[in-house]
Chain A
Amino acid sequence: MKNKPVIRFFVRLAAFSIILIAADRLAGLALKKIYFSQKKGQYSQTTYALDSARQDILIFGSSRAARHYSPSIISKASGLSCYNSGRDGLMIPYAAAIQEVSLARHIPRLIILDISPRELGIDRTKYERLSILLPYASEHEQLMKYIKEVSPFEPDKLVSKTYPFNSAAFIMACNTLLAKSVTKDDNGYLPLESSLTKAETADYLKRMEKRAKKISQKTEVAEAKAVAYFKQFLDNAAKYNIKTLVVISPTVLNNSFELDNQMLERNLIEKMTGQYKNVTFLDYSKDPRFNGHSEKFADYFHLNIQGSTEFSQLIAQNVKANI
């Protein structure tokens, strides 16, 4: 028969496709079970922030939120419960997504948003990383808008049941198999232990100054979409009349944003927050209690436990003043 190899190919392709789909469903089911049974680690924190957090104070932001704000300290000082939804590597679109889902379930008394000017700059990665919302897409329709930021084809890829857990297997394995060695968060707070040395800070300043010369000629541009997400975050808080603190947390250098050519974004944050009555803007980037104090920083971008404890106490005072 003339078409025998073609028929043979298509029969085998069909059979293999069935096996592949079954394997995908099976793997997806197993990964889902493991994913949602995690008790420690940042995946479980996102799950908690999206599905369960009902505290009086909710903190949003990137790793600088997760590493800088201790809910225990804030709760103790204010007498209000507090949860930190900050997450490593995620920026303002992620904060907007978590806030949107959270507010549909519960209205907190106060919101803290930790933001860094670079979050409003042009950087595609802040959208690519929204793929971490994929495991929640089936339960929370609102998240689809954010997932499409990763790529317009992302909803189509969800045909695969394994795909929502793309790039997550390693962390899931660690959180499950090595659960004892994974640090349990304190209501979302994950302090860093190490310290920068004076020499490292000096070396960093030197390199940043060199870089600044190069990038100072570049035209600063705030990214419209990121600005829109920031505005959406502020609008949502205003809609429910929630007291909001928008905070730029401390940096090791007192001129970080000047050197990084991010003053336009920094000033835009101040200007935008000024338009909302419920919002207080706090900028600690030039605070001498932190600038140059290498011992309070774990790396160039993050406070360590000493620095974050001190900083959380300062925030707690502001919380008290605002409620």
Chain B
Amino acid sequence: MLYPNTLHQFMLFNSIDFIIFYVVVTTLYFVVPHKMKWMILLAASCYFYMAFVPIYILILGFTIVIDYLAGIYIENEQSPRRRKMLLGISLAANIGILVVFKYFNFLNLNFDLLLHKFNYHNPIPYLRILLPIGLSFHTFQAMSYTIEVYRGNQKAERHFGIYSLYVMFYPQLVAGPIERPQNVLHQFREKHKFDFSLMQSGLKLMLWGFFKKLVVADRLSIFVGSVFSNPDIHNGSTIVIAAFFFAIQIYCDFSGYTDIAIGCARTMGFDLLTNFKRPYFATNIQDFWRRWHISLSTWFRDYLYVPLGGSKVGTGRRYLNLFIVFLVSGIWHGANYTYIIWGALHGLYCVGYVAIRPYLPSPQNKFAAKLVRLSGIALTILLVTFAWIFFRAASIHDAFTLVRNLRSFGAAPFIADGLNNFAQCILAIVLLFLLEYKMEYHPGKFNFFSSPNIIVRWGTLAFTILWIVAFGVFNGGQFIYFQF
């Protein structure tokens, strides 16, 4: 069995290890001459990845070699049939690795259950291996490269080091954003001089990411964890609170990670894709998916929904395409029926919304428009939160237990860890809401972080840092999306 490196476990963004690593790498990046910058980044990315299970670098190496060669051969090949075949080989290699490491045991378990029904013994053994960290992310990023080369939207990268860096760039290696070659490959060739304003804005974004992760996500996870790990003993009111808290937790955990990743890359002069746009202000489920994990949604749109026919087909087929995309998105998240149901629920929500959209009345006045928007936001949060129960539950049995227990609404909610933690959860949510509300509806106002007045600007920064120190949770909590 493969175990994580016991010396480092994993270099989490919210660890002292990472802070040291980041300072060293960024300093080296600006110190060395331009032609050596890619080497520094590649070496740093390898070290970053190997802090988990060192041997897993070979898996990454394997897909990198396959996709690098596939890209060049596809570009050089004139025959459409052979080009398709080469693309097929590249996709099969990537999906094959995903299947082996992520889905093999799940498929084998289902096969096992099936054979058991007919009193047969399953001779296929289970794999005793750890899931490589961020496998689904870098596999999808690698696939987008060969697809784009195949479609002629991207020239094949001839520099092996640069291509490796495209797959392995450490800020987004383990949990995205899932980049497109057109956006990021050329940036590895560009000269990045130290830029004061980029450094400043990158560090501020990282700080905001740390705030979301340490003050909000990890705080909420204390309550959420205690409820979801004991689904049988909690009543309806507790589960409703825990589900709502989890909705906020996963948003702050994932978008916090993304902010740190984007900020970290920005300090070195790189511009990564936006991944979140305040999803809980979405007025309908489609709007939610335009704001949530944007790099994955657009990946599925471009590489699955459109090839399936997208919306240029009949109504029924269009609904089916939409449903398939969300079902696959659920499977992408993990080898568990909980994720499949989560994906299916979102598929149903979206199909339902697309079907009723033409019949929705348009509001006649401002007040009605506001009311419709607010109801839309509330309903979207309600639907999304319900689906999160399946996403968070450890098993399908736990998920249905939680849903069943929703009915027992009688007793007062269980306040895990006392009122202190619960009050800090509420405080964190209120703060987050106020800040996100400002960004959503008044983006130009109250920008204390970038105020021209240095006292206001530095005061706000120092206050934020001290707030994180005073209210953050520093237990080294994992980022949820690392497991995918």
Contact = CB atoms under 8 A, between A and B. Distances in A.
Nearest to A208: B233
A163 B469 contact: yes
Contact of B420 (A16, A128, A151, A167): A167
B471 interface: yes
B194 A27 contact: no
A258 interface: no
A200 B235 CA distance: 10
Nearest to B226: A125
A198 B30 CA distance: 69
Contact of B232 (A5, A150, A211): A211
B417 interface: yes
Contact of B466 (A8, A23, A300): A23
Nearest to A210: B232
Contact residues of A: prevailing secondary structure: helix
A9 B420 contact: no
A302 B64 CA distance: 58
A160 B474 CA distance: 13
Interface in A71-95: 88-89
B367 interface: no
B196 interface: yes
Interface of B (DSSP majority class): helix
A157 B474 contact: yes
B418 A89 contact: yes
Interface residues of B, number: 38
B466 A27 contact: yes
Contacts of A103: none
Nearest to B219: A167
B475 A128 contact: yes
B410 A20 contact: no
B408 interface: yes
Interface in B446-484: 458, 461-463, 465-466, 469-476
B196 to A, nearest CB: 4
A206 to B, nearest CB: 9
Given A5-B194, A88-B418, A128-B475, A160 B469 contact: yes
A12 to B, nearest CB: 9
A200 B470 contact: no
B195 interface: yes
Contact of A16 (B196, B410, B424, B458): B458
A224 interface: no
A8 B199 CA distance: 12
B421 to A, nearest CB: 8
Contacts of A8: 196
B368 interface: no
Nearest to A127: B475
Contacts of A214: 232, 397
A156 B230 CA distance: 35
B474 A5 contact: no
Contacts, number: 82
A23 B397 CA distance: 50
Contacts of A200: 410-411
Name which of A27, A162, A166, A170 has the most chain B CB atoms within 10 A of its CB. A170
B423 interface: yes
Interface in A120-171: 128, 150-151, 153, 156-157, 160, 162-163, 165-167, 169-171
Interface in A279-305: 300
A170 B196 contact: no
Given A5-B195, A6-B194, A19-B462, A207 B233 contact: yes
B411 A166 contact: no
Nearest to B193: A5
A7 to B, nearest CB: 10
B55 interface: no
Interface string A196-223: 0001100110011011001000000000
B427 interface: yes
B194 A9 contact: yes
B16 interface: yes
B233 A170 contact: no
A56 interface: no
B460 to A, nearest CB: 12
A203 B408 contact: yes
B194 A166 contact: no
A90 B98 CA distance: 43
A27 B470 contact: yes
Nearest to A196: B411
A270 interface: no
Contacts of B200: 9
Contacts of A167: 420-421, 424, 470-471, 473
A91 to B, nearest CB: 13
Contacts of B476: 151
A166 B470 contact: yes
A310 interface: no
Given A167-B471, A211-B230, A153 B16 contact: yes
Interface in B218-272: 230, 232-233, 235
A2 to B, nearest CB: 9
| 5 pairs of A and B residues whose beta carbons are closest in the complex | A211-B232, A5-B196, A207-B232, A23-B462, A162-B469
17 contacts: A9-B196, A16-B461, A23-B462, A27-B470, A156-B16, A163-B469, A166-B469, A166-B474, A167-B421, A167-B424, A167-B470, A167-B471, A169-B471, A170-B424, A200-B411, A203-B411, A211-B232
Given A19-B458, A210-B401, 18 more contacts: A5-B196, A6-B194, A8-B196, A16-B462, A31-B470, A89-B417, A160-B469, A166-B472, A167-B470, A169-B471, A200-B410, A200-B411, A203-B408, A211-B230, A211-B232, A211-B233, A214-B397, A300-B233
